[in-house]
Homo-oligomer: A and B are copies of this chain.
């Protein structure tokens, strides 16, 4: 039996005790935690209290509970996929997405019409409710089986000025870049990285475990006059991937936004 002391609610004391036991190495990574019944005995508390404590550890991402088996100590392995967010400029004037060749399309891309939201409108420099072509892809990494959701958004306005886009809004980013370059645009890109908890829908398709955020990357393709042309979004479980960037020193003025 292990003594429990002051700070706060009982279940938090239990949670703290277990957390400490994990971090101190008493419970090794990947190992099975004592069952709820044993923890009840060990700390002399009721089942709801034990469950509450374990729920807290779950929310921290410290343990992983499997129905009928038990609670496992999660190993804090870092992500296995490094998403190299660069763009390769090949000789023939064509662009290649890094690693683009190893991502399979798990499903047929689905093209549809939609409108800007507050978020996407802001990124594209448009208002709300502007019309767009959208193309959704479910990508799958051949080696690890990791899945990612990719979306391409093309404003009607841009598609009209570049007929090859309006003709096939569902082509791959590589092809889109090439088409824009051919239309006379000098391209550059900017990307913002956000993190948030998945909605149930995303949790399911991306197979995200408990208490795991997703990385949400938004890439803007800018053309001549620095006008935003295309928005791409990539969503992927933060347990599987990390985004990698190369930073160069430049003399451009830096910007800072506050909303």
Contact = CB atoms under 8 A, between A and B. Distances in A.
B238 A195 contact: yes
Q: Which of A99, A195, A212, A257 has the most CB of B within 10 A?
A: A195
Contacts of A198: 60
Given A192-B242, A244-B192, A247-B245, A59 B197 contact: yes
Interface stretch (A34-42, A78-86, A130-138, A153-161): A78-86
Given A192-B244, A200-B60, A248-B248, A99 B215 contact: no
A238 B196 contact: yes
Interface residues of A, number: 63
Interface stretch (A87-95, A106-114, A163-171): A87-95
B256 A88 contact: no
Contacts of A248: 87, 188-189, 248
Contacts of A238: 194-196, 213
Contacts of A214: 195
A243 B242 CA distance: 13
B247 A190 contact: yes
A1 interface: no
Contact of A255 (B59, B84, B219, B252): B84
Interface string A118-158: 01001000000000000000000001100000000000000
A147 to B, nearest CB: 16
A254 interface: yes
B80 A258 contact: yes
Q: Which of A78, A199, A214 has the most CB of B within 10 A?
A: A78
Interface of A: 19, 55, 59-61, 78-82, 84-90, 95, 98-99, 102, 119, 122, 143-144, 187-200, 211-215, 219, 238, 242-252, 254-259
Given A90-B251, A188-B247, 5 more contacts: A85-B247, A89-B251, A143-B258, A188-B249, A189-B248
